[in-house]
Structure 1
């Protein structure tokens, strides 16, 4: 009797301790911003959705520490970058997470043959009807229609059982509504609407509506920036005639943005004649190609700018063009990350179909090949002159992507993003109210992915009218304003905490929490800057003056590439993630401090450039010989 009763009590205790498959649900994600101009209706219950569950990765709490260990000048492990396998193994989700999610799916009626785990073990995929997905995630799915004819599927929020939440990063397709409506008459770039974020070529450089006549190297650098002006500004040496084997520099572009070969040659003829006929090395990501059907500043301005200056400044160093996306589908930040990091790819392309290109693309003219997953080793330096507003992504989505930049840093890659061209405002000068875009908003709108603490954010400066390359620059206030501010998602990284604390103490902005996140414990940007005004760019057979942080990022990328070449020449490795180094006291002397100008927006003067780090120009502009010396002194 006693034994039987004890056995019953034990079994009851075990049953009580094991969470019910349908246990208490908790909110996991809520849409970051409600779509404007879209009408919603309930989705048919029998429609099948490709549900993809991103599993929590192990050791995420150690990412900053291990990255700093290979990136900080005082670390004994400086420069000892990891292999891709080391990175994949260290962060792979645990067996417990995989098993817990599979058991949760099984308890909801999904048979084992319907559940698939990605090779990287980072994702679990199951095809589910809308009715099944709604029951699984305690949500309602809608189909959203736009007057343009475009549609997408999503939900406003979703929940998971409390005991499952610790094993899941995010689930797609759900709340990530970053669909872009086509802006071009041909219907290209159907995902690209500046109202909602994701890569967008028009959220890039600006140009004056006039051509400029230049047949030789310009000498008036306050009016016409050329490669020689940049060399004079930052004391950049002529590029090596014979660059080191193994060095690499990548520029990311998103189709239909593409360079024009005749424009490259026109630029080289005027500013670097030995490079006439030189072209970047094309890496096609998900059908990406250098399209020639559409030509204008909107289609060619970004790519021409990036490649003309990057190639001219590094000379014979090959430049890799990471061209992402086909014409009908397009691509996103996740797509280029898939291409350089196989561990990021999910089973059969587990990206967000509302944000990312999903391949194969079976529409006419689409890329019918397999998803580009780990097709190329990440270059030592990558520059990306595209962005979206931070409010357009959920924290889960942003953090998931941000960790991949940290992993690239562990591999020895420097990832540079331009900081934006609207000062403290978002795309097009939009501002927020209560965290949402509002025509009367006064809350500053930070950008993404530049706000990720594992990328290097590059702002813009200018040579003041009437000044020369020997005079101090100021923050860019011609046509564009250097993007900068404080994240609403990411916490402050250790490497930046002293600099930001010093700024808030010594130069406190005249704003409150109603305007920006003034807590002092969030990521701030940019990290550094370079000139972003009056670039002479060959476009459509002539020359235009172009403005933007879109120019600043590839210039800094060129400088870091030259530093890597010098390190490789003496048997050292690439510098990789540079932020812990440039914020350290070892590098306090390598930047030209920018102390004038601001980045107005949202009806305010914005922040001011001031002594030391500031959220307009960061640490300042690089002095190449000093930067080179500081990096050559490291292991």
Structure 2
């Protein structure tokens, strides 16, 4: 990431009202989520890469610009902002910068150790725990999750009162957010003999959907390409845009597995397995060899699903895989200091992407990772969401999986606010109003909201309503009508009917074929739907760029106004979870499949670039 170092105000200039001596007041408290338990006290010498978010100068202006360039009937539609224009809107005030610089200097933090983002709205500095605890008047402990994950966190932190208006969040502190990848089929249902699958896949060109999509009930690239109508599309501007995916949690994209996959399903694209780019952010892994621990943990299954699906559907559009680590790569553990903290990976990735020049941004990004919204404080969610808005304003389409447990994983639907009340569990980042959330379908004639019971709990498409973000205006014409007609008083008190509703659209998500560790496997989840939809939209962007038109950018205002006409309505199924049947699929928008699944040719027609080829419909 590009950073700019600023000179700190000298300590001698701060004689009056030294920030070190200023009385602290609590800035934020957040309950420790279920499943986490506090263990050992942090050692004073443990290292924390502290990320300080300054209040942005004119986010309201950025949001207005985002909607103007994303709304079809606005004169600015498609006129995406440059990096410089975004930075000018969000840069903090001089007062905020001066106050934060003075605070840091008062704690003896010299300018050489401080880094600033391009817009100077993020400050990063690596410090020992003892210093951070003094700065934030708090105590850090290690917290261990039931699954063995370990984080260095504090449930409450404070600041001198005069800094409250200038700092929106500081992490890592109260956020227990861990991006979790989605479901796979359990081992007993997972591996199939290769010859029994590949040998039964017919030639897709001019094949019917039934013939291509009925091979042992597995989803292949030719099935998706035929079902959604991209099979005859010829990429026209592969050198003018690219698509991307996100890897977190040590996930990897194995080239030899991708080669096997493309050889089996898109032999003309086989070379792409060695050509896609892998970019390491914050120490993210890009290794190509699976260890015994990797194979035991299934490392690479998610990464392979994303990469193979996107290349299998959208080749020859270039692919970039961003692999973001969760620890400070400059920190070296030793016997004295012990383990370091875990950084917030979304912020690290967002900071990197936002630092890129405009011509280095992907046209669409697929992200198959999320977590229950209530596991993170609103301050963190809000700031990450504002960074998604920055990318949308610059013309990037961001797609996130809506989740695999319907309205919530049964047995875990308990409020995190201390009341232990039953509650549905919407997932972030899908609940951010500036991204597009993708649900899952299954079957073909017709497609239905997915229900797959090959798991300890059924896989159902995530759907619901945010408790943090209010319903955006683009949903006002569809969501209240759906709730009134199809939900009524059901689940009253379990969800926020005024919240941002998810998902926005859907795609196939059950029984995708992938190669992993040299053999063929099946994998399911909205983590399959999301790269599939991303690849289709990357093809739409290709057609737009080739025609001299602007890329899709932030999709939702178009989708909820006219774009919805190019998606097939899903009428059956529900977002079952939390010991309920969840929200039902219904005519129009619904809280399980959104507006439905794509019809590629109709999308191109609506965007004014139809006629490139003949496309299938379903």
- Structure 1 376/325 Cα, relative in aligned 2: closer, same or farther at 3 Å? farther
Q: Name the structure 2 match of 1:360.
A: none
How far apart, in 2, do the equivalents of 1:114 and 1:500 lie?
51
Normalised by the length of structure 1, the TM-score is: 0.79
Structure 2 equivalent of residue 352 of structure 1: none
Identify the match of residue 226 of structure 1 among 208, 213, 220: 220
Instruction: Give 1:134 shift.
Output: 4.4
Is there any run of 5+ residues in structure 2 with no aligned partner, and where?
Answer: 1-16, 203-210, 330-341, 454-458, 611-618
Matched ranges for 1:235-274 at <5 A: 235-240=229-234, 242-254=236-248, 256-274=250-268
* Conservation of the 8 A alpha-carbon contact between 2:448 and 2:572: yes
Alignment of 1:394-433 (within 5 A): 394-426=377-409, 430-433=412-415
Q: CA RMSD in A?
A: 3.3
Alignment of 1:21-32 (within 5 A): 26-32=25-31
Which residue does 1:340 correspond to in 2? 353
Q: 1:493-540, CA deviations, whole angstroms, 9 ceiling, x for partnerless residues? A: 22122221121122225534431123x2x1111100001112222334
Aligned residues: 554
Distance 1:303 1:39, change over 3 A: closer
CA shift digits 1:286-340 (9 cap, x unpaired): 3431431236482232122222221121122222222333999798222322331
* Aligned residues of 1:528 and 1:621 also touching (Cα < 8 A): yes
Partner residue of 2:473?
A: 494
Q: What does residue 198 of structure 2 align with?
A: 215
Q: Distance in 2 between matches of 1:529 and 1:436?
A: 34
Residue correspondence of structure 1 range 355-374 to structure 2 within 5 A: none
SS at match of 1:498: coil
Question: Do the aligned partners of 2:441 and 2:506 also contact (CA within 8 Å) in 1?
Answer: yes
1:504 aligns with 2:483: yes
Q: Do 1:244 and 1:565's aligned partners in 2 also have CA atoms closer than 8 Å?
A: yes
**Alpha-carbon distance between aligned partners in 1 of 2:250 and 2:126, rounded to the nearest angstrom:** 31
Distance 1:304 1:627, change over 3 A: same
Contact 1:145 1:151 in 2 (8 A): yes
Matched, 1:118 2:116: yes
Is residue 293 of structure 1 aligned with residue 267 of structure 2?
A: no
SS of residue paired to 1:433 = coil
Cα distance in structure 1, aligned partners of 2:481 and 2:143: 47
Deviation of 1:575 after TM superposition, in Å, equals 1.1
In 1, the alpha carbon distance for the partners of 2:272 and 2:114 equals 45
Q: 5+ unaligned residues in a row in structure 1: which ranges?
A: 1-17, 179-196, 343-372, 464-468
- 1:574 shift after superposition: 1.1
Counterpart position of 1:318: 318
Per mean C-alpha deviation after superposition, the further-off stretch among 330-339 and 526-535 is 330-339
User: Partner of 1:567 in structure 2?
Assistant: 544
Aligned to 1:282: 277
TM-score, normalisation: structure 2: 0.81
Within 2, Cα distance between the matches of 1:237 and 1:58? Answer: 47
CA change 1:171–1:376 in 2 (3 A) is farther
Contact 1:339-1:374 at 8 Å conserved across structures: no
Q: 1:260 to 1:90 in 2, by over 3 A?
A: same
CA 1:146 to 1:474, structure 2 compared with 1: closer, same or farther past 3 Å? closer
**1:497 and 1:633, CA in 2 relative to 1: closer, same or farther beyond 3 A?**
farther
Q: Tell me if 1:601 matches 2:584.
A: no
Distance 1:313 1:45, change over 3 A: closer
TM-superposed deviation, 1:379: 0.4
Cα deviation code 1:36-79 (max 9, x no counterpart): 45344555668776554321011112333110111110111111
